[in-house]
Amino acid sequence: MTTLEHPTNQHYDLDPRIFGLFLGESRKYSSGWFDTGKETLDEAQRRKMDVVADLVHVRPGSRVLDIGSGWGALVLHLAGVHGCDVTGISPARRQREYVEKRARELELADRVRVITSPFEDATELPRGLDAVTALGSVVHMPDLQAVFAKARGLLRRDGRMYVSESCFRNAATRARFDRVDGTDFVRRSIFGNGELRPLSELVAAAEDVGFSIETTLDLTWHYHRTIEQWSENVRTGAAALDAVRPGIAAQLEHYLDVSNAGWGYTTKHYALVLRNAR
Amino acid sequence: MSVPIADQITDIVRAIVAEVLAVPAGELATDTDLREVEGTDSIKVLRLIARIEREYDVELEDDDVFGVSTIADVAGVVRKALDG
């Protein structure tokens, strides 16, 4: 299979300008970190990436793999601000081209590498890593236990994995909502093969492959605030968005509305720090 | 805080429903099925519940959040939560 043929989700292969118009300068497509709620989106995203760096204990020279690296916000931040040697992996080819261009512009090309592949199939991955990160990407991977086992196999002893994911609030909520209109809309139009799970399934899969669970964080409120700011950007940038792709502003606004209405009722957003240690 | 009487709760719930679902309050009977109101979907009903929880500073049970269908139902579970 060539890199052009990976069955990535259409959403992520949309014109990168679309994401630049509503995700802010970092194009980071995951939750920010709001200490007060008054921060700008860009401040909250930078703060979040520092929080992740702290949670996985990286230092200058640390070797990191970012699974589902998107437009490279975390890859470029860990390389540029924390001095890490970072590999990103994503199935979306356009994302690799974008990240490699940004890395050259920031003179980080020697510390940044991007692989175009689904993580599950990738064979040329670095090993003995200090950290693995996966921000909102395991939702697209049906076999969670295989993903965690593979990630653990890439970590050095005592290395850490940071996983953040949107989850059903509990098993009962999943049973009730896995097949309703709002969920189907999000799955069909955005996620492709997205599979929301309750946190307990993430914990069980991590335990079963031998990780120690070091930290669990509730990021729901942070994500709610993040999406409020994305929605605001979609509204103010609607004309520019529709000029790139007619109708995209309304579709994004609906998606973001559905997502934000469900937090705390049907969905939660959690982060886990897993440690490759006894 | 004194517990509001049932009619007051019903009136406030009706006003919030009218606002969130964008329909005139006069068109909303207490036994109107909220999911049958034109232009409504499950997301709007959820947003409505969230608004009512904030208004009364209560957290409704999941079965109530997802089970209510009329204004009378909503007012009933709010009263139950306030009494609890």
* 3-class secondary structure per residue, A211-232: CEEEEEEECHHHHHHHHHHHHH
What are the tens digits of pLDDT across the range A69-114? 999 999 999 999 999 999 999 998 889 999 999 999 999 999 999 9
CA distance A171 to chain B (A): 12
CA distance B47 to chain A (A): 6
Of all residues in chain B, the one with the smallest CA distance to A185 is: B43
CA distance B49 to chain A (A): 10
Residue contacts between A and B (CB atoms, under 8 Å)? 22
Ordered domains of chain B (ranges, CATH) = 6-83 (1.10.1200.10)
ipTM of the complex: 0.81
Q: Please determine, for residue A186, whether its predicted confidence score (pLDDT) is greater than 90.
A: no
Q: Note whether A31 and A226 are within 8 A (CB).
A: yes
Best of A266, A267, A268 to disrupt the B interface (most B CBs within 10 Å) is A266
Q: How far out from the chain centre does Cα A126 lie?
A: 20
Where residue B40 falls among pLDDT bands split at 50, 70, 90? Answer: confident
Phi, psi for residue B58 in degrees, rounded to 5? -130, 160
Using a CB–CB cut-off of 8 Å, the residues of A that contact B are 172-173, 176, 180-182, 257-258, 261-262, 265-266
* Residues with Cβ within 8 Å of residue A4, at least 6 apart in sequence: A93
Q: What's the number of CA atoms in the CB half-sphere (13 Å) around residue A37?
A: 6
Taking alpha carbons only, the member of A195, A202, A213, A206 closest to residue A149 is: A206
What are the tens digits of pLDDT across the range A123-169? 999 999 999 999 999 999 999 999 999 999 999 999 999 999 999 99
Q: Please determine, for residue B38, whether its predicted confidence score (pLDDT) is greater than 90.
A: no
Run of H or E including A97: helix A93-105
Contacts of B43 in chain A (CB under 8 A): 182, 257-258, 261-262
Tell me how far apart the alpha carbons of residues A52 and A88 are, in angstroms, rounded to a whole number: 15
The pLDDT of residue A9 is 59
- Amino acid identity of residue B24, one-letter, is P
Q: Please determine, for residue A174, whether its predicted confidence score (pLDDT) is greater than 70.
A: yes
Classify domain A3-275 by CATH number: 3.40.50.150
Domain ranges of chain A: 3-275
Contacts of B66 in chain A (CB under 8 A): 176
Q: Please determine, for residue B3, whether its predicted confidence score (pLDDT) is greater than 70.
A: no
Q: Report helix, strand or coil for B58.
A: coil
Contacts of B65 in chain A (CB under 8 A): 265
